[in-house]
Structure 1
Amino acid sequence: GEGMDEMEFTEAESNMNDLVSEYQQYQDATANDGEEAFEDEEEEIDG
């Protein structure tokens, strides 16, 4: 064959970007899970 088509690269890149953003959302969600999230909520109630 002639190797990969440019379209295949574009498709692979967009799939990778989707994975990366999904991973970052997951990371943000777990990072915010815990005491920090509760502290933020308390501040909003007080102020």
Structure 2
Amino acid sequence: MKIRKKIMIMSVYGASVIVVVMSIARLSLTPSSLNNDSNSMSFDYIIVS
């Protein structure tokens, strides 16, 4: 039961990480297409790296 609960927590954590990465990618893609802001681009690159 403990191992199963740990796997559940890890899978939920992985899903949340994927959602955060997708939202960051979406936020970094939309402003660059609307207005070419070099400051926001570099800021997003720092967050990713």
TM-score w.r.t. length of structure 1: 0.65
Deviation (angstroms), 1:10: 0.1
* Alignment partner, residue 31 of structure 1: 27
The percentage of counterpart residues that share the same residue type is 3
> How many corresponding residue pairs?
38
Cα distance in 2 between the residues matched to 1:16 and 1:34: 27
Structure 2 counterpart of 1:8, from 4, 17, 24 = 4
Please, what TM-score do these two structures have when normalized by structure 2?
Answer: 0.63
Unaligned ranges ≥5, structure 1? none
* Greater RCO (CA < 8 Å, at least 6 residues apart): 2
Q: Tell which structure's C-alpha radius of gyration is larger.
A: 1
Residues in 1 aligned to 2:31 and 2:19: alpha-carbon distance in whole angstroms: 22
Number of the residue aligned with 2:46: none
